[in-house]
Amino acid sequence: MQLNGKVALITGASSGIGRAIALRFAREGAKVVVNFLGGSPDREAQAKQVVGEAGGETVAVAIAADVSKRAEVEAMFQQAVAKFGRLDIAVNNAGIELKKDFLEVTDSEWDLVIAVNLKGPFLVTQAACRQFVAQGDVPGVESKGKIVNISSTHEDIPFPNYTSYCASKGGLRMFTRNLGVDLAPLKININNIAPGAIATPINQAVLDDPRTREETTSEIPWGRWGTPEDVANLAVFLSSGQSDYVTGATYYVDGALALQVTKY
């Protein structure tokens, strides 16, 4: 088990990629904090289901918090540390998309995408790093803590009608590069995973239409959509002791999509 005894907080872990990361981390021996936005009994039930699948309340806890709100993020960290005693890994996965003609995008739509996708990682990473520093060194362990951001191939590749999303993920790219430098002397790792087309609820409309699903498949040199588990595999490596000298970079999980994009 690669994460035995570690405590990990994963944002947006009630669904899709975050869910797969939480479940895989639990299988690797970690205690997991399953963050979700919530706001309805359905959403809460979904998060609680992840806790159950991870192994129950001794190894997992579901905490509703809006990652774009400082007070909610800080309260979530207090609850997480009170439950599991420490924190070793934070995964900034929560994210939203907005598809809209740029000329029609409103202030509040723009602000929401940037708040969740970019301010969220700022707040969560800052809270996590403060906790890592307060915990100090663990004898025999080089890294004080791991930050893994779920970015996107669209941190680099344009995506027509998704300017706010691309700006947020492009911002996450520089956030990671800059903090790679700032956090290295503190021995905190930070890396981005850039998924390509992954079969999750965020892409439900595209997946449900055979034409658009096949169109996307034909853009992927590997010949299939990615799974949330494909992303979780890399998240384990970037959160484990195997990656202590790996920081400040982006790693693609996209079946070579970004190398051969013809349409977006």
- Residues in contact with ligand NAP by CB under 6 A are 11-12, 14-18, 35-38, 43, 66-68, 93-96, 116, 150, 152, 195, 197-198, 200-203
Closest distance between ligand NAP and the C-beta of residue 234, in Å?
12
* Strand ranges across the sheet with 250-253: 60-64, 31-36, 7-10, 89-92, 145-150, 188-195, 250-253
- CB-nearer residue toward ligand NAP: 93 or 240: 93
- CB-nearer residue toward ligand NAP: 178 or 204: 204
- CB-nearer residue toward ligand NAP: 137 or 208: 208
Closest distance between ligand NAP and the C-beta of residue 14, in Å?
4
What angle do the packed helices 16-27 and 41-54 form, to 10 degrees? 30
CA distance 21 to 14: 10
CA distance 28 to 42: 28
Give me the phi and psi of 260, to 5 degrees please. -140, 40
251 among known catalytic residues: no
- CB-nearer residue toward ligand NAP: 72 or 237: 72
| Catalytic-role residue among 165, 245, 251, 252 | 165
Closest distance between ligand NAP and the C-beta of residue 19, in Å?
7
Closest distance between ligand NAP and the C-beta of residue 4, in Å?
26
Give me the phi and psi of 89, to 5 degrees please. -140, 135
Catalytic residues: 165
